[in-house]
Structure 1
Amino acid sequence: MKKLFASLVLVAVAAPVWAATQTVTLSVPGMTCAACPITVKKALSKVEGVSKTAVSFEKLEAVVTFDDAKTSVQALTKATADAGYPSELKR
């Protein structure tokens, strides 16, 4: 029982170490003008854990760097959708 408890404590303490910075590209096809990327960038920047955002109107995409312990791709796509610009992970 002590070994199990010790293992659980170790996992709880080490879990934050497993978190990593990720960079993903989101397709944002609904951007129709040069001002749209500003709105998309603001929406993504407000998501906790996002450290960098580059939005391209020409490519209709957003490249986002974030801490995967604080947020997820689903949260990013929700943020763009809530701002009026549905997006999806570009593969």
Structure 2
Amino acid sequence: MKIIALLFMLLTMSPTLLAKPQSITLDLPTMNCAMCPITVKKALSRVDGVSSVEVSYEQKEAVVNFDDDKTHAAALVQATTNAGYPSIIKE
């Protein structure tokens, strides 16, 4: 009986409990003014599933932490592109 209860709990567990936090670094070569990082951070922060964003003007990059059940890298690239700052995923 305990095994059945355990299996039931595992099968009905919320998918968000199984989500893996991800981190990605985006290269932003067109950031060329002091206001750019603010715009990029705001655009990325609005993507559902993003938990934190750090943007560096000096390095022209953004480090984004996100929930891979709610968003994906392509959505983050699209968010910066829509804000006027096309980005490339850094390997």
* TM-score after normalising by structure 2: 0.83
1:61 corresponds to: 61
1:80 corresponds to: 80
Structure 2: distance between partners of 1:83 and 1:14: 33
Shift of residue 13, structure 1, vs aligned partner: 4.5
Provide the alpha-carbon RMSD of the alignment.
1.9
Name segments (4+ residues, structure 1) moved above 4 Å. Answer: 12-15
AA in 1 matched with 2:29: P
AA in 1 matched with 2:40: V
Q: 1:42-75 CA distances to partner (integer Å, 9 max, x unpaired)?
A: 0000000001000001000000000000000000
2:18 corresponds to: 18
AA in 2 matched with 1:60: K
Stretches of structure 1 lacking an aligned partner (at least 5 in a row): 1-5
Q: Secondary structure at 1:64's aligned position in 2?
A: strand
1:34 paired with 2:34, answer yes
Q: Secondary structure at 1:30's aligned position in 2?
A: coil
Shift of residue 18, structure 1, vs aligned partner: 3.0
Structure 1: distance between partners of 2:70 and 2:87: 20
Percent identity over the alignment?
Answer: 55
* TM-score after normalising by structure 1: 0.83
Stretches of structure 2 lacking an aligned partner (at least 5 in a row): 1-6
